[in-house]
Amino acid sequence: MRKGNLPRSEQIRDLIALPTPCNDTVYYPANLAILGTQGKYSVFMTMSHKSGQAYIAVTQPDRVRFRLGGSPEQMSDIYESIPWPEVEMSDGNGNFFYKIAPSLQELEDYFNNFDE
């Protein structure tokens, strides 16, 4: 996955448009960004329909960060193995699934294991 600075995300109604490392844009519910500012950290999987690349993204107090990227099968396996509770959010855009990390430190520790 390409590292570096990505363009800033922008809010479009009740969704956040997030540029991906593969030069596409994915969308996630703005409520997840609000949770991040409240000290609740989430993990979700998203996919670029342009490239077919899938990503694991995490919310932080001031941004969303892509932590891993790969095939949809790889990212799905990793997402399913994350040991935290999964939440389903439903709105006019459909259903969106994410997991809640116990703390920012546990979130960082969990994903730092993939960097080794």
Residue 4 lies in a domain: no
Convert the pLDDT of each residue in 65-106 to its tens digit.
899 999 999 999 999 999 999 999 987 778 999 999 999 899
Structural domain count of the chain:
1
pLDDT 10s digits, 4-61: 444 567 777 888 889 999 999 999 988 887 887 788 899 999 999 999 999 999 988 7
Q: Is 102 inside any structural domain?
A: yes
Distance, in Å, from the CA atom of 11 to the CA atom of 2, rounded to the nearest integer, reads: 24
Give the range of the structural domain holding residue 67, as residue numbers without chain letter: 10-115
Start-to-end CA distance of the chain, whole Å, equals 15
User: pLDDT tens digits, residue range 54-71?
Assistant: 999 998 877 888 999 999
Residue 68 is assigned to a structural domain of this protein? yes
Give the global pTM: 0.85
